[in-house]
Chain A
Amino acid sequence: MKIGVLALQGAVAEHIRSIGLAGGQGVAVKRTEQLGELDGLVIPGGESTTIGKLMRQYGFIEAVRDFASQGKPLFGTCAGLIVLAERLESGEEPHLSLMNMTVARNAFGRQRESFETELDVKGIDSPLRAVFIRAPLIKEVGENVEVLSTYKGEIVAAKQDRLLVSSFHPELTDDFRLHGLFLEMARQAR
């Protein structure tokens, strides 16, 4: 299973490592031409304004939307979740606008409010360590979206068909089970 990690900015190497631990092959993606050879794509954590701007500049918005319309799965963590959302609470223009949800950026506050905790996630048998860094929250989801995890009543992981998102960073721990879940989605999409 060959999984790309969008490498315009952000924590790319960490995702490639987690994909490897989960039994897939991770590759850094800098050009739209690379999408053709992939079974799935991760949009990593980073700064969503920077990633969104560079995606527009290099034609990734259209290319990734095409990729998704072919039934290929996408996994967005933190900034990647923001990039996938159809609606941003701030009223900012959405980026890929693929996932039926409204997202609030920096929803927990500034860096001093960043934290880690144990979290139950649907489809994963025991709690995983979740690292939240200036993290976004999913404020509202459409009917076609399945909520996978909540923290203090707020949605922090969700799935819509072949789109997977988390507001925390599974790539910053040695626990690769969420990446395993994504690889399974890629296997089924083949």
Chain B
Amino acid sequence: METGTSRVKRGMAEMQKGGVIMDVMSAEQAKIAEAAGATAVMALERVPSDIRAAGGVARMADPTIVEEVMKVVSIPVMAKARIGHYVEAKVLESLGVDYIDESEVLTPADEVFHISKNEFTVPFVCGAKDLGEALRRVQEGASMLRTKGEPGTGNVVEAVRHLRLIMGQIRKVQNLSKDELYHEAKTLGVPYDLLLGVHETGRLPVVNFAAGGVATPADAALMMHLGADGVFVGSGIFKSENPEKFARAIVEATTHYEDYGLIARVSKNLGAPMKGIEISKLESSQRMQDRGI
């Protein structure tokens, strides 16, 4: 009997496919998310848009919030650790969270090194904005990937950019010859073996979700259309006017992302989505996606 194997950790992410993982800040919100059909919740002290507004250093959530959420829902509970913060991740693992997000939404604890995730029993999800970042995170032990997007903006454009880039790079790698692959591995800064796997299978070695700016049912469906395996919704749900309705609508639109009549129906009278931010208005210091490459 073996725990924490790569098959067990990656398999857990496979079970999330086609699903919506929702940010929650309390036990009450977690129950709303579960009832709406979320496949997992991310327990946080503040959603990304509040982290943006508050400024300062964003850290791992108070363990009390994480434990309260774990107590009230039967679906998996995820929590965020700062990039490179080994101890925050160990603390979350000791609490028994089901997945750790080593996340650029929090202020990085290390400007060079990510956590060595292979030595943990708990699986990790990490953000990526291109194939190089994606495969570097897998090499460090990430069992699931997500686009970085630009969290807390309610603007899907960056998540679209990252997913399109990754899918395009995969298609390119599929068509390279062996000698070109050696060079491409060097250019991308990734291990040759992982790149060879992408070349042979035409896909990433782990599940890849969309994240960072998904705010509406149509946004979620767009990311599925572009090839995401599922969707993270951060501020989009509990910063909208009617979180319960929004959550249900995003779940339905993700499942039936090619049924446009259904997406039209669930999008009716949803109330106002979260207020968005135009990306070009962000100063470079506020761009979370540039953290941890």
Interface residues of A (CB under 8 A from B): 7-14, 30, 45-47, 49-50, 53-54, 57, 78-79, 90, 105-106, 109-117, 131-134, 169, 172-173
Contacts and interface: CB of A to CB of B under 8 A. Distances in A.
Contact of B15 (A13, A79, A112): A79
Contacts of B63: none
10 contacts: A9-B17, A11-B14, A12-B18, A46-B15, A111-B123, A112-B98, A115-B3, A116-B2, A131-B11, A172-B11
Contacts of A169: 11
Interface string B21-49: 00000000000001001111000000000
Contacts of B3: 112-115
B256 interface: yes
Nearest to B78: A111
Give me the 5 closest cross-chain CB pairs, A-B, nearest first: A111-B98, A47-B39, A9-B18, A11-B14, A117-B1
A62 to B, nearest CB: 19
- Provide the main secondary structure of the chain B interface: loop
B19 interface: yes
B228 interface: no
Given A111-B99, A116-B2, A172 B74 contact: no
Contacts of B2: 115-117
A9 B38 CA distance: 10
B184 interface: no
Interface of B: 1-5, 7-8, 11-12, 14-19, 34, 37-40, 70, 74-76, 93, 96-99, 121-123, 251-252, 255-256
Given A106-B74, A110-B98, A116 B18 contact: no
Nearest to B99: A111
A128 to B, nearest CB: 13
Nearest to B258: A30
Given A47-B15, A49-B74, A115-B1, 8 more contacts: A9-B19, A10-B18, A45-B14, A50-B251, A112-B93, A112-B98, A112-B121, A117-B1
A111 B12 contact: yes
B8 A10 contact: no
B18 A8 contact: yes
B68 to A, nearest CB: 15
Contacts of A117: 1-2
Given A12-B17, A112-B96, A47 B75 contact: yes
B4 A8 contact: no
B67 to A, nearest CB: 12
A14 B1 CA distance: 23
B255 A115 contact: no
B15 A11 contact: yes
A106 B37 CA distance: 17
